Chain A
Amino acid sequence: GAGVSQSPSNKVTEKGKDVELRCDPISGHTALYWYRQSLGQGLEFLIYFQGNSAPDKSGLPSDRFSAERTGGSVSTLTIQRTQQEDSAVYLCASSSQGLLTEAFFGQGTRLTVV
């Protein structure tokens, strides 16, 4: 596609439910990042993929959070047993492999846990 696509754009879920957030990176981009942005806050690094591998998972806040990437393309961020503090905008970005290049961000998924 023309840009990074994230779905859904908005998600309201009940506390304790599981949610899946999807990211479609720009075609050919092998690096993919997930960030979390709480209201009025900065970008909190969650996880980074190079191809299907995640060399850095250090940002995942708890074992309720997991992410995978298949076929070097689409990535899914899963949050199990959601809590109210998980409410935030989840942003995905992609960039070209092995180069220090621009990371293109999606519009984000606004997650609200009620």
Chain B
Amino acid sequence: GENVEQHPSTLSVQEGDSAVIKCTYSDSASNYFPWYKQELGKGPQLIIDIRSNVGEKKDQRIAVTLNKTAKHFSLHITETQPEDSAVYFCAAGYNNNDMRFGAGTRLTVKP
């Protein structure tokens, strides 16, 4: 089955700086890679996703890159703000099968 590893487990940045979170996956058949943000006491919410037919996707301050050959993908947040502080999870899946999540990254943005 799919195995997703995520790094770092914690990340602290100054407001305005960029944050990068990286994930690797094991199953080359995986073709869907979402990123979720989880705030305290809430369920995870999708912030961006990428499919295997593209290498990069941007949405305002958030971007995701995918390297299928190396089987890794990354989340980039630019101009970080305190409200970006949360736990971020990457995931990998294939055609809506058992989507597997990374262990999460606790991001803290210091004002």
Contacts and interface: CB of A to CB of B under 8 A. Distances in A.
Given A41-B104, A100-B32, A100-B51, A48 B97 contact: yes
B7 interface: no
Contacts of B95: 98, 100
Contacts of A108: 43
Question: Interface residue tally of chain B, by bracket?
Answer: 20 to 34
Question: Interface residue tally of chain A, by bracket?
Answer: 20 to 34
Contacts of B49: 100, 102
Nearest to A97: B96
B99 A33 contact: yes
24 contacts: A31-B96, A41-B104, A42-B6, A42-B103, A43-B91, A45-B98, A45-B100, A45-B101, A48-B98, A56-B98, A91-B43, A95-B96, A96-B96, A100-B49, A100-B51, A100-B96, A101-B96, A102-B49, A103-B46, A105-B44, A105-B45, A106-B43, A107-B41, A108-B43
* The 10 residue pairs across chains A and B that have the minimum distance between CB atoms: A105-B43, A42-B103, A100-B32, A43-B101, A56-B98, A102-B46, A42-B104, A48-B98, A105-B44, A31-B96
